[in-house]
Every structure is written in C-alpha cells, then in structure tokens.
Amino acid sequence: MPGRVALVTGGTKGIGREISRCFVQKGIRVYMNYSSDDTAAESAAAEVSKAGIPAKIIKADVSDQEQVNSMVEQILKAEDRLDILVNNAGIIRDGLLMLMPDINWKRVIDVNLNGACYCSKAVLRSMVGNRWGRIINIISPSALLGRAGQTNYSASKGGLLSFTRSLAREMARFGITVNAVSPGVIETELTGTMQDNIRKEFISMIPAGRFGRPEEISNAVSFLASDEAGYITGEYISIDGGLT
C-alpha cells in the first residue's frame, strides 16, 4: 500500500474524511476532494495528516465533468499515477416524489451517480495503463431497500451499485476491481445533531442497537483497496449493524 495514490471524493467530511485518514495511516498518498468550503477542507487535511504522511486537498464539483477531468489531470501530473478512487461524494435532498422540485431529482443524480461516472472515467486510462486499480463506490441501504422520501437518493445509489457491477466486468482483466460499500447510519457531524427521539427511533430499527463508527466503514474500504482484495470485484459490503 505505501506509495499508492488515492482520490477520495467528498473526502474532507464524515465518512470520506475517515477513509482519507485510514489511507494516510497505511502510507497512501491521499487527495481529499471537496467542493466548496476551503477553510474547512484545509483544517480537515491538517487534522488527517497527523495520522501519517501529509494529505492534500483538491477542489472540484464532481457533477461538473470539466472540473473532474482537470482535478484528475492535476493529480496525474503531480504523481504520474492514480491507483485508488473512492466515489464518496454524495448529497441528500429528501422529499416525496409527487411534490419533489425537479431540481432536487436532477441534483442528486448529478452528484451521486453522474459524479461517480465522471471520476471513474477520468481515472481508468491511468489504471488500465498500470494494470492495477481500485474503485470503491459508497452506496447506501437505500440502494437495497425502498425508503419513502428518498426516490432520488435511492435511485442514485441503486444506479451506482449497478454501475459497480458492470464496470467491474469491463475492468477485471486489467487488475482493476470495482466494489461498493454500503454504510448504515454512522456517527458523523450530521447524526450528532439529531434530536434524541429521532436518534432512538433510528436505533430501534438497527439490530446491533447502535450507530456505526466511521472507522468501521473506512476499514472495509481500506481492505477493498488493498492487494489482498484483488479477487473481489463487482461486490458490495453492507456495514449497517444488520439493518438490511
């Protein structure tokens, strides 16, 4: 793993930040992508870098293909390789379909699904050339189960799971694996602000009786990114305390 180069989209917050930290600990050179808040991204990178070698931040809106291409070009110019891509950037715009503003449908598909496509497409030539690569897509229990209020989100994540399976078959002979990880409800800044009654309601649905820890996701991502996982492709791992 040391010497490998990784790009983690949405890598400065929540699960993405933990994945970046886990890679840094393993000696991987990490580029933490973010889309808007420069100051927060800088402080996240400084914090993650304490775990090992310095992590870098790189700004791009993954739903904009030109920005994605220029981000990947910049990394390839500096590193001459890009071995691991984690498509983690994602947004939520929940609402019942009948009343959903069309922009909320489009935006969620643009970021969660089209963004993963643009990033994957941008890194594949380098991975094929090196005959080694790892793409790990972060999906959701919503990809596997229906959930009222999440037609847009579940379609984007279900689409990403199907994308994972097909791309895995295209890339298998080049030593490139494509897998997905499905985190359940995870302790992050977001769930930290939940009201107590909502928190209890969520926990009552989870057989494990608790939320997951970010490192429980990053450990699985790190395994899928390793040489040891080279024969696993087109698969997904649910890490959700038994929820699905």
Partner 1 sequence: MEREGLIEELKALIIKSLKLEDVLPADIEPADPLFGSGLGLDSIDALELVVALEKKYGIRIPDEDVGKEAFASVNALADYIIKNKP
Q: Rounded to the nearest whole angstrom, what is the least distance from the CB of residue 185 to partner 1 in the complex?
A: 39
- 170 counts as binding partner 1 under rule CB under 8 A: yes
16: how many CB neighbours lie within 10 A of its CB? 28
For 178, what's the count of Cα atoms within 13 Å in the CB-facing half-sphere?
26
The residue among 174 and 202 lying less far from partner 1, judged by its C-beta, is 174
CB 122 within 8 A of CB 67: no
- 129 counts as binding partner 1 under rule CB under 8 A: yes
Q: Of these, 99, 102, 173, 189, which contacts partner 1 (CB under 8 A)? A: 173
- 201 counts as binding partner 1 under rule CB under 8 A: no
Q: Tell me, what amino acid is at 243?
A: L
The residue among 37 and 170 lying less far from partner 1, judged by its C-beta, is 170
- 202 counts as binding partner 1 under rule CB under 8 A: no
d(CA 216, CA 199): 19
- 174 counts as binding partner 1 under rule CB under 8 A: yes
Find where tokens 């229906």 sit: 146
Q: Which of 31, 34, 153, 236 is catalytic?
A: 153
Q: Of these, 53, 76, 91, 128, which contacts partner 1 (CB under 8 A)? A: 128
- 230 counts as binding partner 1 under rule CB under 8 A: no
- 79 counts as binding partner 1 under rule CB under 8 A: no
- 66 counts as binding partner 1 under rule CB under 8 A: no
Q: Is 231 designated active site?
A: no
- 200 counts as binding partner 1 under rule CB under 8 A: no
The residue among 80 and 228 lying less far from partner 1, judged by its C-beta, is 80
Residues of this chain that bind partner 1 (CB under 8 A): 124-125, 128-129, 170, 173-174
Catalytic positions: 153
